[in-house]
């Protein structure tokens, strides 16, 4: 029997209130698993593992259904949905959390539907490392596991985090988180230390400055697509990772070349995501726009193919 | 008659005292034209236009001579050489100037030897825009002119700066300078405005995050080579631009493809430069090391060649 989803994604679901230097939006759909599943949905059949409260708006659920995201792993629990509010500073690089109300997310225990347990691809979005470990106990040897995390877990539960990272194929984190985790300033040294925890790949995200994929043998450098405007960077990392995992699942592969290609897809999906708040841009994005920008982006990054390498 | 140099470079020469979080070096060779000529010397016959005082150490001049830099345009004036001292903060991103003593640089008027005036390539390093204009009055229609600048001139003499930019083929500046000049936050919009001043190319430098080349029609994105260690970023932008112009002069071309290739050379030359203070690394760098890292770098940036583009 085929698994019902090719990619299972676990993470948070929130209702966000976000302020940027030019705009404020209240009570909009957010959360790592929402962004990641939306991005993955362009490429593969993704299943969502998360929790919402009984107050969760039907129209938000509709957005996911319209993107053909599998919601069998979505729990609805008596109470209020997780709320988060934050504000972005002038240059959009730094954000400050104004409030966090965990609500039903506080007692969330991710339980994978049977149909998700043999999904070949698994993305452990940013949640408590003990919960990420709990997910790993339920799955049947996925072909490829990506784990994301955040500064909070590095600060308060490095032990469990280290353990779960050791069980994954790829770790992704931000530049500053990589530095925090390792105490190293250069990303080369930070990545080297993180690779020693076990994963074959370490993917460091640098926001508008792109991303870097490290293995024991080499490095892959990817710029971010340069945008005319950026409205809301919330969820960009989750969209990137979700698009990456979706594209990788679609390829059926896990090798380095496939990951390079999947990173391009993730990066471009994220570039659309930040053009508007919440899933506003992604929900009306079509595959041909995505493909067109990917083609444009590849041309922007093209430095040389074999035959033109030795001009000097 | 052939011009005696293929590339003329105008800029500052300083004796620097530099403090980083781990080290302090006093009275070392610095200045934009020193870094730029050193980088260009790996590719072409470059001539230096600058000024030093009678206190200028013979061993510093020897470093340039050993790199086969043409010094006919170097003026020696009674008095002390320009001194600069600065300190880098923890993350090497921000530096603070501690002191600036212009000395003989205060009355510097760049005069090009006859043999430099028909050089096909010209790099106007970061000096007062009025002096950059003065250089342009002396040259005989160079094939390609690159101009660099800094926040100071944007703040105090935007008028002359705007005028000289309009006479150049390419403008290079830092991310923050592009934002300061235009008042635009995204580099796409900033570059668009700068292109309207006249240059065909705008090259925005992002330090350790790479660089972006803008034309009216397209964008080229280049990462920085990821280093294990970075000792002193002083002069990195000048080294980048000098290597770029040297490689471009060596190619004899000025088209977009040639510039993409030349940027790679400039970027890699700069990556060596920052590994040590002053010209310490560049003066013992050999061409084969440079070529090896260029090859490695191209592999790091390779996203796809034509035939592998459509895997998904």
Burial class of residue A58 in the structure, from the number of CB atoms within 10 Å of its CB (0-12 exposed, 13-18 middle, 19+ buried): exposed
CB B195 within 8 A of CB B219: no
B45: its two tokens: 């016959």
- Position B2 pLDDT exceeds 90: no
Task: Report the pLDDT averaged over residues B65-85.
Answer: 97
Nearest CB partner across the interface for B186, out of A228, A257, A258: A228
Note whether B223 contacts A228, CB cutoff 8 Å: no
Note whether B228 contacts A258, CB cutoff 8 Å: no
pLDDT tens per residue across all 312 residues of chain A: 445 899 999 999 999 999 999 999 999 999 999 999 999 999 999 999 999 999 999 999 999 999 999 999 999 999 999 999 999 987 787 889 999 999 999 999 999 999 999 999 999 999 999 999 999 999 999 999 999 999 999 999 999 999 999 999 999 999 999 999 999 999 999 999 999 999 999 999 999 999 999 999 999 999 999 999 999 999 999 999 999 999 999 999 999 999 999 999 999 999 999 999 999 999 999 999 999 999 999 999 998 654 444 433
B247: contact with A, CB 8 A cutoff: yes
pTM of the model: 0.94
Give me the residues of B, 53-112, that contact A with CB < 8 A. 91-92
Name residue A120's beta-bridge partners: none
Note whether A303 contacts B260, CB cutoff 8 Å: yes
Distance from CA of A114 to the nearest CA of B (A): 28
CA distances from B123 to B23, B29, B32, B118, B224 (A): 32, 20, 11, 13, 22
Residue A218: list chain B partners with CB under 8 A. Answer: 299-300
pLDDT at A25: 98
Give chain B's length: 312
Give me the residues of B, 217-236, that contact A with CB < 8 A. 218-223, 226-230
Nearest CB partner across the interface for B311, out of A187, A219, A251: A251
Handedness of CA A90, A96, A102, A108 (dihedral sign): positive
Closest chain B residue to the Cα of A215, Cα to Cα? B300
Q: What share of chain B is helix, strand, coil (3-state, %, to 5)?
A: 40, 20, 35
CA distances from B235 to A309, B260, B275, B312 (A): 27, 21, 12, 43
pLDDT tens digits for range B255-285: 999 999 999 999 999 999 999 999 999 999 9
Nearest CB partner across the interface for B251, out of A185, A264, A312: A312
CB neighbour burial string for B185-211, b if at least 16 within 10 angstroms, e if fewer:
ebbbbbbbebbebebbbbbbbbbbbbb
Question: How many residue pairs bridge chain A and chain B with CB atoms within 8 Å of each other?
Answer: 107
Distance from CA of B6 to the nearest CA of A (A): 15
B250: contact with A, CB 8 A cutoff: yes
Place of tokens 């990303």: A187
pLDDT at A3: 52
CB B156 within 8 A of CB B181: no
A311: its two tokens: 């001009």
CB B55 within 8 A of CB B308: no
Confidence of residue B311 (pLDDT cuts 50, 70, 90): very low
Note whether A298 contacts B304, CB cutoff 8 Å: yes
Residue B202: list chain A partners with CB under 8 A. Answer: none
pLDDT at A93: 73
Ordered alpha helix ranges (H), chain B: 32-40, 58-66, 114-117, 129-138, 151-156, 158-165, 175-182, 187-195, 236-251, 256-273, 287-301
CB A47 within 8 A of CB A122: no
Indicate the average pLDDT of chain B.
94
Task: Report the pLDDT averaged over residues B87-99.
Answer: 87
Note whether A311 contacts B187, CB cutoff 8 Å: no
CB neighbour burial string for B266-287, b if at least 16 within 10 angstroms, e if fewer:
bbbbbbbbbbbbbbbbbbebee
pLDDT at B89: 87
Distance from CA of A75 to the nearest CA of B (A): 32
Please tell me the distance from the alpha carbon of residue B299 to that of residue B311, in angstroms, as a whole number: 19
Taken in order of first residue, the domains within chain A and their CATH numbers are 7-169+227-304 (3.40.1190.20)
B301: contact with A, CB 8 A cutoff: yes
Task: Report the pLDDT averaged over residues B298-307.
Answer: 74
Which site among B184, B205, B218, B303 would you substitute to test the A interface, given the most A Cβ atoms closer than 10 Å to its Cβ? B303
Residue A250: list chain B partners with CB under 8 A. Answer: 312
CB A300 within 8 A of CB B220: yes
Please tell me the distance from the alpha carbon of residue B132 to that of residue B148, in angstroms, as a whole number: 10
Confidence of residue B310 (pLDDT cuts 50, 70, 90): very low
What is the phi/psi pair of residue A5, to 5°? Answer: -125, 150
What is the phi/psi pair of residue B3, to 5°? Answer: -70, 150
Note whether B223 contacts A222, CB cutoff 8 Å: yes
Cα angle A221-A227-A232, degrees, rounded to a multiple of 5: 100
Distance from CA of B211 to the nearest CA of A (A): 10
Confidence of residue B92 (pLDDT cuts 50, 70, 90): confident
Task: Report the pLDDT averaged over residues B124-142.
Answer: 97
pLDDT at B307: 41
Using DSSP's 3-state secondary structure scheme, residue B222 falls into strand
Task: Report the pLDDT averaged over residues B17-41.
Answer: 97
């Amino acid at each position: 029997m085929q698994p019902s989803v090719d990619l299972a994604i676990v993470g948070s679901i929130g209702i966000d209130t976000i302020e940027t230097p030019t705009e404020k939006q209240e009570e909009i759909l957010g959360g790592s698993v929402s962004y990641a599943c939306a991005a993955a949905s362009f490429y593969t059949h993704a299943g969502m593992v998360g929790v919402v409260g009984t107050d969760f708006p039907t129209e938000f659920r509709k957005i996911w259904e319209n993107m053909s995201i599998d919601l069998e792993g979505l729990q609805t629990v008596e109470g209020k949905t997780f709320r988060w509010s934050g504000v972005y500073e002038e240059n959009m690089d730094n954000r400050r959390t104004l409030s966090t109300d965990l609500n039903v997310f506080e007692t969330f225990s991710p339980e994978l539907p049977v149909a998700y347990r043999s999904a070949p691809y698994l993305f452990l979005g940013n949640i408590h490392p003990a919960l990420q470990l709990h997910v790993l106990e339920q799955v049947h040897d996925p072909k490829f596991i990506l784990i994301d995390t955040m500064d909070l877990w590095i600060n308060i539960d490095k032990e469990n985090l280290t353990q779960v990272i050791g069980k994954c194929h790829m770790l992704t984190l931000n530049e500053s988180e990589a530095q925090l985790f390792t105490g190293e300033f250069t990303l080369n040294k930070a990545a080297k230390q993180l690779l020693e925890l076990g994963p074959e790949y370490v993917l460091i995200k640098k926001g508008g400055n792109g991303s870097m994929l490290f293995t024991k043998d080499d490095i892959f450098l990817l710029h971010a697509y340069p945008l005319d405007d950026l409205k809301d960077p919330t969820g960009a990392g989750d969209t990137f990772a979700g698009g990456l995992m979706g594209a990788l699942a679609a390829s059926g592969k896990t090798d380095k070349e496939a990951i390079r290609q999947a990173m391009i897809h993730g990066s471009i999906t994220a570039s659309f995501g930040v053009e508007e708040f919440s899933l506003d841009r992604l929900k009306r994005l079509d595959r041909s726009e995505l493909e067109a920008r990917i083609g444009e982006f590849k041309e922007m990054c093209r430095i040389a193919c074999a035959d033109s390498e030795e001009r000097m």
